[in-house]
């Protein structure tokens, strides 16, 4: 999981990640209290590089306020499970 770019961002940011093998992937944006804001990826992805754009909105389309957010990539490939979390800053 790479650092989002740009960071800080407005109006959108790109989140990139690389998978060494095909895996079940879940990429989620959280606020600093741990509340889930938006699920960006939820499903199987092939090995290789991937990216997704987050536009600063929650799951129902509301614009989120300025502030720090966390994004977490969880992968599950066979018996291997991983979770990586990074921080980003959204400025309105």
pLDDT tens, 58-69? 999 999 999 999
Judge whether 33 and 68 are in contact, CB under 8 Å: no
pLDDT tens, 18-56? 999 999 999 999 999 999 999 999 999 999 999 999 999
Contacts of 90 (CB under 8 A, 6+ apart): 8, 9, 10, 13, 56, 64, 65, 66, 67, 68, 69
Tokens of 32: 């600093």
Structure pTM?
Answer: 0.94
Instruction: Say if residue 92 is exposed, middle or buried (CB neighbours under 10 Å; 0-12, 13-18, 19+).
Output: exposed
Around 84, how many Cα atoms within 13 Å sit in the side-chain half-sphere?
13
């Amino acid at each position: 999981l790479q650092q989002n770019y740009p960071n800080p961002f407005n109006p959108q940011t790109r989140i990139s990640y690389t998978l060494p093998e095909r895996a079940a992937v879940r990429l989620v944006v959280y606020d600093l209290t741990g509340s889930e804001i938006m699920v960006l990826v939820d499903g199987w992805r092939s090995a290789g590089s991937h990216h997704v754009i987050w536009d600063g909105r929650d799951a129902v389309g509301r614009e989120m306020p300025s502030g720090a957010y966390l994004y977490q990539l969880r992968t599950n490939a066979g018996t291997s499970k991983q979770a990586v979390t990074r921080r980003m800053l959204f400025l309105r």
